[in-house]
Amino acid sequence: MKIFLALLVCIPLVFTSCGEDNDDNLVASANVSFKFSHKWDNTTINSSNLTTETVTNANGEVISMTRIRYLISGLQLVNSDGTTYSFDGYKFTDLEDETTYNFTPEINNIPTGIYTLKFIWGFSEEDNIDGEYLDLNSASWNWPTMLGGGYHFLQFDGMYNVDTIPSPFNYHNGTARVSMGVFEQNYASIEPETPINITSNAIININMNIAEFFKTPNTWDLNVLNTPLMPNYDAQKMMQENVLSVFSIDGVTQ
């Protein structure tokens, strides 16, 4: 069963009108927010070291990073009884701007309980509407019309082989072009398995392991797949597979 959180604001009114003398049937509720952190395996990556840290990917290329921006949407918490609470909006994160690391839905009051998290990497087909979101347009986040339109899911730029002959890479993810004028939706459903026990107002901590973009299940060879990747169907589908292992639950602050 799905519950849209806009409906939850009516619940207290229903209880008030029942005229019961006890609250035995009331379930405590909590507000939730989400805090994202970013690492390359065990190394924290944030605005202070994004452009200065040197790391090595699973294929052995030494790389530096110049930009990481990504978008997720459709956040949901699924209760242990299968009830789904859906949060409106989307989250655009720029690692150079730490104010974008957090996300607090406008309406997010849910019953306490044990949950699992779900969200969409990028936009679903229904939401990935070309030119629809003014803030994303201003951020130059649009995906080219000739490649299917809509918006990027990820912009990850940097240099590889920085210890030998540095060369640029542009690991950009979005709609996959099958052939001229034929496109395939390329978003992914992210579902970390770690249970989330919400007992009061909570911050759900989510970690992005950037190294996983190059690691699981596809070991990424930047000497072969570096740029341009946006029109490369096989590369886009490999990105879709690799993003499934990027996010994990990093505990709950209550």
Domain boundaries, the chain: 2-253
pLDDT of residue 27: 72
pLDDT of residue 156: 98
- pTM for the model stands at 0.89
Tokens of 24: 């035995």
pLDDT of residue 25: 57
Return the biggest CA–CA distance within the chain. Answer: 76
The residues of the chain scoring below 70 in pLDDT are 1-26
The answer to whether 176 and 183 have CB atoms below 8 angstroms apart is yes
Tokens of 34: 């989400």
**Nearest 5°: phi and psi at 86?**
-105, 140
pLDDT of residue 26: 67
Amino acid at 235: A
Cα separation, 88 vs 254, in Å, equals 22
Q: How many residues does the chain have?
A: 254
pLDDT of residue 108: 85
Tell me which H or E stretch contains 213.
none
Cα separation, 46 vs 204, in Å, equals 18
